[in-house]
Amino acid sequence: RAAAYLTPFMFLGGNPSPNYIREDLDLEAFSLPGVTKSWTSSRPDLIDTRGRVALPEGDLPERVVLTVSLAGGGENVSRDFEYRVMPAEPRLPAFMIYLNDGLQKNRRVDCRVEYYPAGGRDPVRYRAFQGRRAGVKYRGTSGFWQSHIRGLENFFLRKFALSLRFEEPHRLLNETETRHLYFATGYEEASLMRNKLSYDLYRELAVPGAPRFAPEVGWAEVFINGHYRGVYEKNTRIDRHMLGIESFDPTRPDPAVLYKFGAHGDNFRVPRTGAITQKLPPRRYGPYWEPYLDLVRRVASDDPEVFKNSIEEVVDVDSVIDFHLLLNMTENRDGVNVNLYLARDAGPGKRFFIVPWDYDKTWDPESGHRWFSNALTDRLLEDGPDYGERLARRWEELRRERWSDDAVSERIDRMEHHLDGWIQWDYELWNHAYSRDIPFEEWTGSLRRRALERLHHLNGRIPRLMESD
């Protein structure tokens, strides 16, 4: 009975989790009259039989199994407890989320957060209570509601995506005033690399006066009440803070707007306000669809000459070109008319631009090298101001340096090295339900091969497309 009572949490001492050991354990935390105990360690160089911890060299965690042997009443019982000792300078940060209530899908619950930065620095503590419109909840749609996910039939054993809203700006990925932080799971692709690769390649196209906004992505381990939940993509939310646009002023005739396209269809040709979410102005101020509807009218019905001479007054065509090239370079089948944001800052003469979002379904070897386009880019190709020629020139420019074979391969190599040795703990925890029994190096190798294949395909495809145009 005494042996059954013990858990690895009982001996943590000042450590936050059995999977995050950086201080000595308290192996004397349990005692019972008439019962004696002794310890053995699989790695006494890391945790000895007195619970003293030595951090491993390098930047990877190490597994240690401690065995406690109990003797009393003429019986002997042994129990094994697994601990993970963190390196002196861990490569990935960690979020320890503590809550009393169960996580919910439709509302946030109060939580405290301890953030352990990479490099072994001391934790930073945050509060996220509902009284300050903060907290944590499940997020996402497909990964949450499907009844079977890669063989995980138990609803409560899934690796759910999370949305965390702090009471104050966290500044963990950028220096904006945002209080939100999202955690994605790798439900669609277990390498956890496609979003970051896509967004980084797009964001680096910015020059002074011409930003290219996309979420910033990093990786972190997540723990809930001390239980390890795996490696997640942590990323920023697309909001006015990220985009540097003004908050809503109801007295202005030309406020900033931000729309999220949330359903498939010709959203740039047919008004589909039911399939689009108004993010700015806030919905508490009521619907504000006039700027979007005006753009749809122009795309759908303007005479060719009128469209050619006026479209750049309302749309930043150069940013659309970069978005169009990203869409095709990544083969993002979901990014054509859905999973994108349409934004415009406040003020006269401000123009629409597109912000990419949700790029985990990318570089698919089964896509057949399709060409991706929506009603807006189709109309620009047909009647826009030299759109085809400008797109082809931009592609040639990007391929010379920023999107060259070497540049893309080096990015993938750096991400692979950063995650290697860490993401395998995630695969092991979830019994390969997300990784589909495919090793990490095969995921990254497949991404590298397909990305280069796609670049080479577009080298021939884009000039032919422009010639036919």
Q: What is the mean pLDDT of residues 53-81?
A: 94
Whole-number pLDDT of residue 143 = 54
Banded pLDDT at 269 (limits 50, 70, 90): confident
Residue % of the chain over a pLDDT of 90: 75
Whole-number pLDDT of residue 435 = 77
Helices first, then strands: H and E counts in the chain: 12, 15
pLDDT, tens digit (0-9, with 9 covering 90-100), for 106-122: 899 999 999 999 998 89
pLDDT, tens digit (0-9, with 9 covering 90-100), for 316-328: 999 999 999 999 9
Supply angle C-alpha 378, 384, 385, rounded to 5: 150
Of 15-24, 254-263, 267-276, 444-453, the poorest mean pLDDT is in: 267-276
Banded pLDDT at 142 (limits 50, 70, 90): low
Query: For 463, what's the count of Cα atoms within 13 Å in the CB-facing half-sphere?
Result: 6
Residue 197 parent element (H or E): helix 194-203
- Residue among 84, 80, 79 at smallest CA distance from 94: 84
Q: 311-314: which pairs have CB atoms within 8 A and are 24 or more residues apart? A: 311/380, 311/384, 311/385, 312/351, 312/385, 313/349, 313/351, 314/351, 314/352
User: Which residue is listed with tokens 């911890």?
Assistant: 53
Separation CA 434–CA 187 (nearest Å): 6
| Between residues 458 and 262, the one the model is more confident about | 458
Q: Which residues have CB under 8 Å from 386's CB, separation 6+? A: none
Burial group, residue 286, by CB count within 10 angstroms (0-12, 13-18, 19+): exposed
Whole-number pLDDT of residue 144 = 52
Residue 360 has pLDDT above 70, yes or no: yes
Banded pLDDT at 436 (limits 50, 70, 90): confident
| Between residues 97 and 139, the one the model is more confident about | 97
Three-state DSSP class for 172? coil
